[in-house]
């Protein structure tokens, strides 16, 4: 809901309010973003008076906003800030005018509530075409220059989300230069908040870092060209002592896939400013007379009840307003990806033998990863040449797809369309397509260069080459990869004074391509990937409903990575695979059931040579897939909760079915106790809680087998292996029928864990990296 009362704007969602107004000088003063407050018509005047900054005397070493004014913009909560009028904090906007000056002073002109929202033109948005959401449009004009700044606020009531974006219009007779323009700014009247950010590196995405910002500026940003694994654009700003269940928390994200910048700036007056938008580093946009520049859309949410509610807001919002197309609400196929099974050793026969085993296991989609196109035997060649290697695929993509379809599986294919290898036909013919700086050697990443998507003909090349691959008969899934950071950012198609536009124009070019291809192929399921999660963001998610969360498929590592994503993204956007052990990234061994349990909480896939699995593992994988199919709608459509550091839970929207999982890091002897509590179950329902009966391989007990064996068994001997093949130890059984109230508030004390003091069938074997899944069904 949006209410305009005089010069005050009240934006409300189900649980939050966002309120701001106009000062006598025409500045936009921010009053409140937080818990919903409803102000009656009679109370408006006094409520606004109560919420406004009071000024009666000057303030030390500050600049007054104007002559005869005591207003100090540095000590006010503002909706937008600029430079030159006394506000010394991180600005929202910085423009260089034709006279060389950079002072801006944007003053309120008018505001209107739109029933039909105005849409972004060149970037993805939370608003789908034709969607009926309320939008507030606020128009500000520069006090002395003919330049207009338009602010858009869109309210998503049910998800407790408000989005913001801005448009700058140049009505000067000459060019102006935008040095910085953010998407959103939030000023808060306290310091010492905690910035919670998520980043890492390749294989280590989304590690949570907490930083209390008492003073100065804390920045979460990237200039890598992609939203990056170093610093995801999703950021939380919370009370220092906020927890999963309590405390004020703000969550922000940006619907953008390039260089982004989030700053938490605490002023000398103990006020905190948060801004998010395109990274100003190496950004400079020349705006000609009559032209406008639009920023990406920023997403904001607030929870008065800790991280959990904030994450639910974000999950619901992303599912409902970002993910779109045929697969938005459709549980995804279980796939087998060839990468860790075969790497570049692709051949028709290898793919078909993987497909046969995959079919037998219950897999639904076979994905041929890298290595299938002309001359691609390692990562040094061929990017850009999107024709099949006939030596590897004699029947081409379509011939292979047909054979995979005949086996009873869908067929998917890997591409990396934004790249060019120096060793490629494309580079021979069109070296100018590569993003390089004339006269300089290019700094390669993974032996490849980036195609300059700012050039229209390069975009056409990418679209056309992809039309051939994606449009091949039998292709129903595409993994769109991107495997390097940017270097040598330069476009030969732009004049020198416009090179600061290059990185953003690249993103706009990419969006143009993605829009065209996803609209042309609405039945194809697209998976986003950038060496794992190097471009996991809401911009890509608006085109591709799922993203390969990390190249790290180690189940234990994945518990941290997936937990990181869960703060800001629904798990239905994060793909996760069961892979071989020792794991290819860590050489760690984790139990097969843990690999499944962790992957099942994302969008499940396998990335393992099923043909080389032993019979026991293959049987277990078959059973996993059967279980997953029974529970897929819950994993996919349910609300995800972090119950504690080693427990996840997912609950169906109707609260009738749920799954929870606990896991272990390193186990300790003589430690036995574990309780599971639940979150999100209906307290008036009765639930059946049970685990899947496990059958333990006796080899897990090593030479301890001799404590029960009638004859001595030498460890790893033929006898030991033979016994292990035929004799299994039954695992513990957990089976209860109890109320949701008891589960949520008291919990279940599980069977005693193995602690080095004995084992029987009532013992939970919970060794290093073990896990358990518990299924919960309402019996009402
Ligand atoms: C990086 C991806 O993250 C991997 O899954 C795989 O597709 C490789 N690229 C292929 O080169």
Residue whose CA is at the smallest distance from ligand 1 atom 11? 370
Distance in Å, CA 370 to ligand 1 centroid? 7
Distance in Å, CA 279 to ligand 1 centroid? 27
Picking from 451, 454, 460, 456, the residue whose alpha carbon sits closest to that of residue 433 is 451
First to last CA, the chain: 37
Rounded-to-integer distance, Cα 33 and Cα 24, Å: 22
Residue whose CA is at the smallest distance from ligand 1 atom 10? 370
Please confirm, yes or no, whether 68 is among the known catalytic residues.
no
Tell me if the bond preceding 247 is cis, omega within 30° of 0: no
Picking from 687, 622, 664, the residue whose alpha carbon sits closest to that of residue 753 is 664
Q: Are 349 and 391 in contact (CB under 8 A)?
A: no
Distance in Å, CA 481 to ligand 1 centroid? 7
Q: To which residue do tokens 């896990």 refer?
A: 771
Q: Which helix (H) or strand (E) is 519 found in, with range?
A: helix 502-520
Residue whose CA is at the smallest distance from ligand 1 atom 4? 531
Q: What are phi and psi of 615, to 5 degrees?
A: -60, -40
Is the dihedral angle over the CA atoms 372, 374, 378, 381 positive or is it negative?
A: negative
Residue whose CA is at the smallest distance from ligand 1 atom 2? 531
Distance in Å, CA 645 to ligand 1 centroid? 29
235-238 and 249-254 beta bridge pairing: antiparallel
Out of 265, 389, 481, 552, which one is annotated catalytic? 481
Picking from 278, 307, 277, the residue whose alpha carbon sits closest to that of residue 208 is 307
Count CA atoms within 13 Å of residue 261 on its CB side: 22
Which atom of ligand 1 lies closest to the CA of 369?
Answer: 7
Helix, strand, coil shares of the chain as percentages rounded to 5? 25, 30, 45
Which atom of ligand 1 lies closest to the CA of 379?
Answer: 11
Burial of 59: CB neighbours in 10 Å, binned 0-12, 13-18, 19+: middle
Please confirm, yes or no, whether 14 is among the known catalytic residues.
no
Distance in Å, CA 531 to ligand 1 centroid? 6
Residue whose CA is at the smallest distance from ligand 1 atom 5? 551
Q: What is the pTM assigned to this prediction?
A: 0.97
Q: Which residues contact 474 (CB under 8 A, 6 or more apart)?
A: 397, 398, 401, 402, 404, 405, 411
Ligand 1 test: best mutation among 483, 527, 558, 585, most atoms within 8 Å of CB?
483
Rounded-to-integer distance, Cα 119 and Cα 124, Å: 9
Out of 551, 552, 554, 593, which one is annotated catalytic? 551
Ligand 1 test: best mutation among 203, 336, 344, 369, most atoms within 8 Å of CB?
369
Count CA atoms within 13 Å of residue 586 on its CB side: 16
Specify the pLDDT at position 694: 87
Distance in Å, CA 234 to ligand 1 centroid? 24
pLDDT tens by residue, 132-148: 899 999 999 999 999 99
Picking from 133, 643, 544, the residue whose alpha carbon sits closest to that of residue 322 is 544
**Which of helix, strand or coil describes residue 233?**
coil
| ∠ CA 535-448-388, rounded to 5° | 95
Residue whose CA is at the smallest distance from ligand 1 atom 3? 531
Q: Are 254 and 126 in contact (CB under 8 A)?
A: no
Specify the pLDDT at position 396: 97
Which atom of ligand 1 lies closest to the CA of 414?
Answer: 7
Q: To which residue do tokens 């001997």 refer?
A: 717
Query: What DSSP string runs through 244-300?
Result: SSSB-EEEEEES--S-EEEEEEE-TTS-EEEEEEE--TT--EEE-TT-EEEPPPEEE
Distance in Å, CA 416 to ligand 1 centroid? 9
| Count of Cβ atoms closer than 10 Å to residue 284 Cβ | 17
Q: Are 755 and 672 in contact (CB under 8 A)?
A: yes
Ligand 1 test: best mutation among 339, 416, 480, 536, most atoms within 8 Å of CB?
339
| ∠ CA 119-124-538, rounded to 5° | 135
Residue whose CA is at the smallest distance from ligand 1 atom 6? 339
What is the CB < 6 Å shell around ligand 1?
339, 369-370, 414, 481, 483, 529, 531-532, 548, 551
Rounded-to-integer distance, Cα 338 and Cα 355, Å: 10
* Structural tokens at position 383: 């990017």
Which stretches of the chain drop beneath a pLDDT of 70? none
| Count of Cβ atoms closer than 10 Å to residue 259 Cβ | 26
Residue whose CA is at the smallest distance from ligand 1 atom 9? 531
Rounded-to-integer distance, Cα 764 and Cα 457, Å: 62
Rounded-to-integer distance, Cα 395 and Cα 376, Å: 17
**SS3 for 346-392, per residue?**
CCHHHHHHHHHHHHHHCCCEEEECCCCECCCCCCCECCCCCCECCCC
Specify the pLDDT at position 377: 97
Q: Give the max Cα distance, the chain.
A: 99
Ligand 1 test: best mutation among 380, 418, 551, 575, most atoms within 8 Å of CB?
551
Helix and strand totals (H; E) in the chain: 14, 40
Is the dihedral angle over the CA atoms 38, 40, 44, 50 positive or is it negative?
A: negative
Ligand 1 test: best mutation among 448, 479, 531, 585, most atoms within 8 Å of CB?
531
Picking from 607, 597, 609, the residue whose alpha carbon sits closest to that of residue 562 is 597
Which atom of ligand 1 lies closest to the CA of 531?
Answer: 3
Q: Are 92 and 81 in contact (CB under 8 A)?
A: yes
Rounded-to-integer distance, Cα 515 and Cα 467, Å: 13
Which atom of ligand 1 lies closest to the CA of 530?
Answer: 3
Which atom of ligand 1 lies closest to the CA of 529?
Answer: 3
Distance in Å, CA 368 to ligand 1 centroid? 11
Q: What Cα–Cα distance (Å) separates residue 173 from each residue in 147, 198, 291, 678?
A: 10, 44, 11, 64
Buried b (16+ CB within 10 A) or exposed e, 402-425: ebbbeeebbbbbbbbbbbbbbbbe
Distance in Å, CA 532 to ligand 1 centroid? 7
Distance in Å, CA 155 to ligand 1 centroid? 38
Q: Are 734 and 747 in contact (CB under 8 A)?
A: no
Which atom of ligand 1 lies closest to the CA of 548?
Answer: 3
Mark residue 70 as left, alpha or beta (left: phi above 0; alpha: psi -120 to 50; beta: remaining): alpha
Q: Are 549 and 561 in contact (CB under 8 A)?
A: yes
Distance in Å, CA 584 to ligand 1 centroid? 13
């Amino acid at each position: 809901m949006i209410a305009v009362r005089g010069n005050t704007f009240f934006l409300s969602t189900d649980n939050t309010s966002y309120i701001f107004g106009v000062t006598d000088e025409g500045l936009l003063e921010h009053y409140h973003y937080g818990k919903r407050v409803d102000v009656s018509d009679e109370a408006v005047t006094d409520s606004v008076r109560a919420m406004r900054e009071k000024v009666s005397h000057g303030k030390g070493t500050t600049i007054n906003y104007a002559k005869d004014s005591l207003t100090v913009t540095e000590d006010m909560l503002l909706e937008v800030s600029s430079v030159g009028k006394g506000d010394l904090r991180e600005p929202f906007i910085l423009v260089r005018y034709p006279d060389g000056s950079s002072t801006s002073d944007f003053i309120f002109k008018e505001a209107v509530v739109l029933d039909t929202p105005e849409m972004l033109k060149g970037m993805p948005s939370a608003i789908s075409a034709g969607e009926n959401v309320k939008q507030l449009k606020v128009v500000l004009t520069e006090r002395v220059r003919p330049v207009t700044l338009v602010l858009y606020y869109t309210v998503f009531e049910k998800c407790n989300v408000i989005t913001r974006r801005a448009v700058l219009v140049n009505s000067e007779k000459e060019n102006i230069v935008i040095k910085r323009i953010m998407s959103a700014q939030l000023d808060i009247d306290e310091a010492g908040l905690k910035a919670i950010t998520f980043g890492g590196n390749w294989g280590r995405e989304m590690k949570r870092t907490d930083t209390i910002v008492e003073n100065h500026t804390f920045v979460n940003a990237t200039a890598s060209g992609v939203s990056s694994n170093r610093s995801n654009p999703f950021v939380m700003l919370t009370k220092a002592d906020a927890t999963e269940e309590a405390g004020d928390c703000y969550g922000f994200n940006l619907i953008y896939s390039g260089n982004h910048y989030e700053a938490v700036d605490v002023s000398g007056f103990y006020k905190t400013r948060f801004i998010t938008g395109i990274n100003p580093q190496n950004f400079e946009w020349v705006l000609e007379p009559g032209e406008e520049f639009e920023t990406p859309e920023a997403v904001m949410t607030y929870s008065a009840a800790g991280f959990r509610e904030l994450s639910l807001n974000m999950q619901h919002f992303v599912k409902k307003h970002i993910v779109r197309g045929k697969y938005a609400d459709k549980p995804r196929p279980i796939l087998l990806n060839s990468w860790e099974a075969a790497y570049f050793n692709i051949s028709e026969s290898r793919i078909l033998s993987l497909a046969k085993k995959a079919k037998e296991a219950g897999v639904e989609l076979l994905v041929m990863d890298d290595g299938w196109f002309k001359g691609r035997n390692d990562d040094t060649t061929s990017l850009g040449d999107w024709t099949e290697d006939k030596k590897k695929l004699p029947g081409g993509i379509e011939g292979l797809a047909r054979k995979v379809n005949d086996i009873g599986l869908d067929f998917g294919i890997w591409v990396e369309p934004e790249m060019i290898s120096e060793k490629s036909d494309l580079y021979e013919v069109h070296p100018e397509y590569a993003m390089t700086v004339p006269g300089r050697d290019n700094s390669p990443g993974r032996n490849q260069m980036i195609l300059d998507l700012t050039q229209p003909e390069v975009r056409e090349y990418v679209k056309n080459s992809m039309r051939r691959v994606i449009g091949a008969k039998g292709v129903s899934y595409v993994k769109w990869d991107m495997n390097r950071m940017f270097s040598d950012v330069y476009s030969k198609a732009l004049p020198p004074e416009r090179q600061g536009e290059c990185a953003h124009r690249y993103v706009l070019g990419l969006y143009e391509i993605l829009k065209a291809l996803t609209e042309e192929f609405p039945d194809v399921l697209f998976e986003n990937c950038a060496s794992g999660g190097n471009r996991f963001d809401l911009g890509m998610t608006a085109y591709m409903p799922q993203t390969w969360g990390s190249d790290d498929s180690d189940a234990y590592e994945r518990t941290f990575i997936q937990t990181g994503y869960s703060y800001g993204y629904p798990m239905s956007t994060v793909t996760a695979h069961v892979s071989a052990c020792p794991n290819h990234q860590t050489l760690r061994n984790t139990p097969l059931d843990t690999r499944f349990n962790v992957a099942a909480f994302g969008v499940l896939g396998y990335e393992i040579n099923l043909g080389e699995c032993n019979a026991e593992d293959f049987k277990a994988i078959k059973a996993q897939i059967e279980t997953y199919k029974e529970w897929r709608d819950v994993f996919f459509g349910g609300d995800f909760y972090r119950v504690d550091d080693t427990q996840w839970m997912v609950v169906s929207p109707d609260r009738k079915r749920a799954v929870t999982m606990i896991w272990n890091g390193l186990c300790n002897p003589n430690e036995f106790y574990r309780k599971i509590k639940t979150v999100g179950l209906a307290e008036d329902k009765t639930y059946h809680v049970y685990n899947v009966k496990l059958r333990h391989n006796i080899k897990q007990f090593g030479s301890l087998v001799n404590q029960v064996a009638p004859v001595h068994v030498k460890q790893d001997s033929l006898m030991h292996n033979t016994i292990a093949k035929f004799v299994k130890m039954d695992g513990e059984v957990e089976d209860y029928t109890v109320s949701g109230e008891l589960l949520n508030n008291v919990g279940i004390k599980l069977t005693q864990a193995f602690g080095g003091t004995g084992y029987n069938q009532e013992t939970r074997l919970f060794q290093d990296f073990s896990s358990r899944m518990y299924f919960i069904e309402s019996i009402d």
